[in-house]
Chain A
Amino acid sequence: MKKLAFALLLTTSIVAPGLALARPATIAIQMAPYQGPGAYLAIYVVGPDGKYQSTLWVAGEKPKYQRHLRGWSRAYSTSGGSIDAITGASVGSGRTLRIDVDLADALIDAGYEIRVDSAVEDGSDYSGDAVAPLRSGGSGTTVRGTGYVATFAVKM
């Protein structure tokens, strides 16, 4: 029940801007080599005005470490909602995280972008470690990260 309610919420938030069709997309994040335990990641959609829209995925389950995903946690803690169904394990050095999402058509080519925040225990916090604009022409283009993320690509 909880999952269903959440699925509705997620769909609503992504689909709402245009009430149009959604298209499947694959997000691939290749982690850089680093020393330390698995990295926490937040992957979320930001509007043309830089405002938080919705969360696509959170890697790492403990709230006390999720706090270090600063850009995302500030927006998420304000806007509320639940991430239970879109939270998974943290991602280790050199690993690849691949997730499938549905993106509303209205988000594409409308100035929206997908951001990745990253943090590692006893390491650094990177807000906006990697940012990829949602452009139909740029599908599959690889973006370089500035911190723990080596490369980031959104394929539609």
Chain B
Amino acid sequence: MLRRVHSIAGLAAACLIGFLAVTGALLSFEPAIDAWPATAIPSTGITVAYTAGAVAARFPDVERLVRSASGNLVAYHGSNGKQGADYVDPQTGVGLGPYERSAFFGFVTELHRSLFLKTGGRAIAGLGALALLILSISGLVMTAARLGGWLRLLVAARGTVGQRLHVDAGRAIVPALLLTTVTGLYMTLATFGIVPEGGGDLAAFPAGVDGGTPAPVARLAALRAVDLSSLRELVFPVEGDATDVFTITTDKGQGYIDQATGAMLSFQPNSTAQTVYETIYRLHTGQGLWWLGLLLGAAATAVPVMAVSGIVIWWKRWRAFPRLRRNVAAQGADTVILVGSEANATWGFAACLHEAMTQAGHRVHTATLNRFASSYPKAQRLFILTATYGDGTAPASANRFLDRLAKTDISRWPEFAVLGFGDRQFPHFCRFATDVQAALEARGAQSLQPLAMIDRQSSQAFAEWGDATGSHIGVPLTLRHAPQRPATFTLTLASRIDYGAAVGAPTAVLRFVAAPSTGRESHSPFARFKRSLPSCEAGDLIGIVPPGDASPRYYSLASGARDGFIEICVRKQAGGLCSGFLHDLQPGASIQAFVKANPQFRPARGRAPVIMIGAGTGIAPFLGFIRNNTGQRAMHLYWGGRDPKSDFLYADLLSWFQRDRRVTRRVTAFSRVSGGSYVQDSLREDANTVRALLARGAQILVCGGSDMAKAVQSTIDEITAPIGASVATLKAKGRYVEDSY
């Protein structure tokens, strides 16, 4: 909901907000520029009477003295209909040069507050401020939720480059945005009379004007009682009109002063509304607070960055999400589909089922598992389609499902059917789907169909499930879904190094480069980009689809696009289709691949130490992190292999990196040597060091097979128990990150 509000407000008002931000940033310079001449001449300690007398001596035809919020004093004077205005020195009354408001700032001010569209334009500018306020608040709440609470609002953001930029820039400028939008909105509301601006009605001209011979300005008692620093404006009486008076405006109010007696004839103090409005006006414009103005202006320059990164984030999410035709509300649906998906693949199947049921004349409601409704009054059936996260837990869009389910009365839920998606090559195949099935049965919900599982996005299995389900519920269900594969690019194998054959763990380090372009491609204006590598970093995943198979296998990257090559470590699995294919590749051969960002698996920003724990091919992302560690941040590598003579991946390169301190310390464990040990054994021996590093804020990254990952978890739990920490608490802080397979 919040995200939708944020997206709609952002998309609808992006241009307007960008425009207001740019014009606002330009205007932020005006108070600072205006403050330059003022800084030289102090105006405290002298009275208005003194300065007015000095100015009147230099400018006998002075009509008004205006003191700006920045402290500049301007004398307006005129004779014979020829009017002028000059900066004046408050001490001597000497003219300091003509005053005229900069045409540029005048133009930009009008553009900023009304786009030259008068009253309607002011309403538009106000709506822009409102949209930015909504964006600031919703963005702040979303950021807090995403980072795990208000107290964690300042911890390092995670995600893609665009997401991090959006969150970081947003956190930095949100105080300025809140200030500038709230004040801007208040000013708009005041323009339309919805909140009082103060300033009141015209003060009545005073009765009882003496009318005698005017006294010299410098002697007027009421003017001698006012310090120049509190003056806003002093209007002189009309020349030769003894019945006229001085009109003075100070920061406290407005009064009339008799030019003969020097008495304050009447004084109208500022109303509270006026004081409030003026404060808000100054906070928004920075008038008299030039440093605040510059800060707000600097913050405003980040707004276009926020707009662009926000639109990019929205666009990516929008494109990744399948279109659901006629998704009806939960309360009115006869068929409900709930989806648990990590990377949107399961959504494709859900969308296919949604479409087929809708075409069969049903009213279908499709939502994520997290967002199930407590009741579906009209539903006759409930389908749950869910994937399983790598470690057997819930995927992202279902991570709160089981908790919520336990607290919900589902006695009136319709019959349900669970369809799990997974890959039989991995442990925990469809574990979460199994858990959901069990949880629903335990709560007494009626099963429409037994739990079914789809291996590796098989279109055929899905179609068969559709046939069976369709005949069961009496709806002809033809489910044809070919999973969309991301756009791939071509890589050419440049070199390979083989390890581990002697110890039964044949492992190849494969280095790919961008495929050379063919003659035909070079006609395209994008040819240059096509030949370059797609954007990726070490720790991201590369998806490779072996010939003759539908589903991709993922490998961790040991390098990024900026290294100019893409390197992976592949262990040959017995009967493994993809690993076999890759192991058979010879330099010069090409493959099709795509990149899957894995931004969670990175060293956190900052200088805190990094502990990297891996075994076998799990070294790959760590090698990439170490390669990039030219800043010599403390990086400790724990790695396990079988035999240093056979499968010691990257042995030479790591020695080199240790000499130039890109890796601080290396601890290796080998299992097939006499007295062999595993990586978790090395950790246990090193417990004191690990605890000391954790005390310095270290982050733990684990990469490798799931058995190793599990062993490392329990070892770290052992090690950290004495210091009151655990894998769970470290994970919650983003200080324990795993990439296991």
Write the residues of chain A forming the contact surface with B, with a CB cutoff of 8 angstroms: 35-37, 62-64, 66-67, 70, 73-78, 89, 122-127, 146-147
- Distance between A58 CB and nearest chain B CB, rounded to angstroms: 11
- Distance between B650 CB and nearest chain A CB, rounded to angstroms: 70
Please pick, from B76, B81, B201, B244, the residue contacting A63 in the complex, using a CB distance under 8 A: B201
- Distance between B471 CB and nearest chain A CB, rounded to angstroms: 74
Q: Is B92 an interface residue (CB 8 A)?
A: no
User: Mind listing 30 A-B residue pairs with CB under 8 Å?
Assistant: A35-B103, A37-B110, A62-B197, A63-B199, A63-B200, A63-B201, A63-B202, A64-B199, A67-B202, A67-B203, A67-B247, A74-B205, A74-B244, A75-B205, A76-B202, A77-B203, A78-B205, A89-B118, A89-B119, A122-B101, A122-B106, A123-B101, A124-B76, A124-B78, A124-B85, A125-B63, A126-B81, A126-B83, A146-B81, A147-B81
Q: Is B585 an interface residue (CB 8 A)?
A: no
Contacts of B81 in A (CB 8 A): 126, 146-147
Contacts of B203 in A (CB 8 A): 67, 77
Assuming the A-B contacts A89-B118, A122-B101, are A77 and B205 also in contact, with contact meaning beta carbons closer than 8 angstroms in the complex?
yes
Contacts of B85 in A (CB 8 A): 124
- Distance between A115 CB and nearest chain B CB, rounded to angstroms: 14
Contacts of B100 in A (CB 8 A): 35
Q: Is B431 an interface residue (CB 8 A)?
A: no
Contacts of A67 in B (CB 8 A): 202-203, 247
CA distance A64 to B197 in the complex (A): 10
Interface size class of B (residues with CB under 8 A): 20 to 34
Contacts of B199 in A (CB 8 A): 62-64
CA distance A89 to B114 in the complex (A): 14
- Residue contact A35 to B106, C-beta cutoff 8 Å: yes
Assuming the A-B contacts A124-B83, A147-B81, are A36 and B202 also in contact, with contact meaning beta carbons closer than 8 angstroms in the complex?
no
Contacts of B103 in A (CB 8 A): 35
- Residue contact B101 to A147, C-beta cutoff 8 Å: no
CA distance A142 to B110 in the complex (A): 32
- Residue contact A77 to B202, C-beta cutoff 8 Å: yes
Please pick, from A36, A66, A74, A125, the residue contacting B106 in the complex, using a CB distance under 8 A: A36
Contacts of B238 in A (CB 8 A): 70, 127
CA distance A95 to B298 in the complex (A): 37
Number of A-B contacts (CB under 8 A): 51
CA distance A126 to B201 in the complex (A): 21
- Residue contact A36 to B118, C-beta cutoff 8 Å: no
- Residue contact B202 to A66, C-beta cutoff 8 Å: yes
In chain B between 44 and 63, which residues have their CB closer than 8 angstroms to a CB of chain A?
A: 63
For residue A75, which residue of chain B has the nearest CB?
A: B205
- Distance between B293 CB and nearest chain A CB, rounded to angstroms: 17
A-B pairs, 9 with minimum CB distance? A146-B81, A64-B199, A124-B83, A122-B101, A77-B202, A78-B205, A77-B204, A74-B205, A77-B205
Contacts of B78 in A (CB 8 A): 124
For residue B83, which residue of chain A has the nearest CB?
A: A124
Q: A67-B202, A146-B81 are in contact. List 14 more A-B contacts (CB 8 A).
A: A36-B106, A37-B110, A62-B197, A62-B199, A63-B201, A66-B202, A67-B203, A73-B202, A74-B205, A74-B244, A77-B202, A77-B203, A77-B204, A127-B238
- Distance between B37 CB and nearest chain A CB, rounded to angstroms: 16
Question: Quick one: CB contact mask for B103-137 with A, threshold 8 Å, 1 for yes?
Answer: 10010001000000011000000000000000000
CA distance A75 to B204 in the complex (A): 9
For residue A92, which residue of chain B has the nearest CB?
A: B118
Please pick, from B64, B118, B197, B202, the residue contacting A125 in the complex, using a CB distance under 8 A: B64
Contacts of A63 in B (CB 8 A): 199-202
For residue A69, which residue of chain B has the nearest CB?
A: B202
Question: Quick one: CB contact mask for B237-271 with A, threshold 8 Å, 1 for yes?
Answer: 01000001001000000000000000000000000
For residue B102, which residue of chain A has the nearest CB?
A: A35
- Distance between B265 CB and nearest chain A CB, rounded to angstroms: 13
- Distance between B69 CB and nearest chain A CB, rounded to angstroms: 12
- Distance between A87 CB and nearest chain B CB, rounded to angstroms: 12
For residue B243, which residue of chain A has the nearest CB?
A: A74
Contacts of B402 in A (CB 8 A): none
Contacts of A122 in B (CB 8 A): 101, 106
Please pick, from B101, B118, B119, the residue contacting A35 in the complex, using a CB distance under 8 A: B101
- Distance between A60 CB and nearest chain B CB, rounded to angstroms: 12
